[in-house]
Chain A
Amino acid sequence: AQRVTQPEKLLSVFKGAPVELKCNYSYSGSPELFWYVQYSRQRLQLLLRHISRESIKGFTADLNKGETSFHLKKPFAQEEDSAMYYCALSGSGNTPLVFGKGTRLSVIA
């Protein structure tokens, strides 16, 4: 069974500090991992996916198959990064997305 764990419900950091949002997954096959973000009063939107290896809004995430992790990182947090972040996994063959419970990031000025 697929499972995504985000161990932190809430993460507070100061502006300019590094950010790391943790995501661990459980899946026996080859997963596709995603990070979605939901800003206040906005719809859920894709932040990045591991296969594209992009850096969006300064965020990066590396898939570590050995540790089954896909942590989201940003070197310098900005106030506008405050939002709810969801890690999601899709297995092979058009399987549906499985989401973690989410981490609320609060960036303090």
Chain B
Amino acid sequence: KAGVTQTPRYLIKTRGQQVTLSCSPISGHRSVSWYQQTPGQGLQFLFEYFSETQRNKGNFPGRFSGRQFSNSRSEMNVSTLELGDSALYLCASSNLVAGGQETQYFGPGTRLLVL
């Protein structure tokens, strides 16, 4: 099976702009989670989607949003970018079923630099 793919891999934006990141999960996986990874804060959960519905949301401001399409592909959007949004954004997919925690498979990440 092809792994989780994320596009673009690298992105440079300026403060105030907005950005959209894309994630394609492993075929058959219906759950997609997003994480932000920074040297200072480590890995922090952003949100999780399952069958086009947001199931969980981390402690991030409303500038961070996401969605999932019927083919399980997911996008996350960050509006009004701030310098502190510079990070590696990781997407993970899993074949999550009701109850329990299935193994999450991570993509390579999108490295966002905000200038």
Contact = CB atoms under 8 A, between A and B. Distances in A.
A70 B99 CA distance: 22
Nearest to B58: A96
Given A43-B106, A46-B103, A94 B42 contact: no
Interface residues of B, number: 25
Contact of A46 (B45, B104, B107, B108): B104
Interface stretch (A12-20, A59-67, A99-107): A99-107
A97 B104 contact: yes
| A interface: dominant SS | loop
Given A96-B45, A96-B48, A99-B43, 15 more contacts: A32-B100, A43-B3, A44-B92, A46-B103, A46-B105, A49-B103, A86-B43, A90-B101, A94-B100, A94-B101, A97-B33, A97-B45, A97-B104, A98-B45, A102-B42
Interface of A: 32, 43-46, 49, 86, 90, 93-102
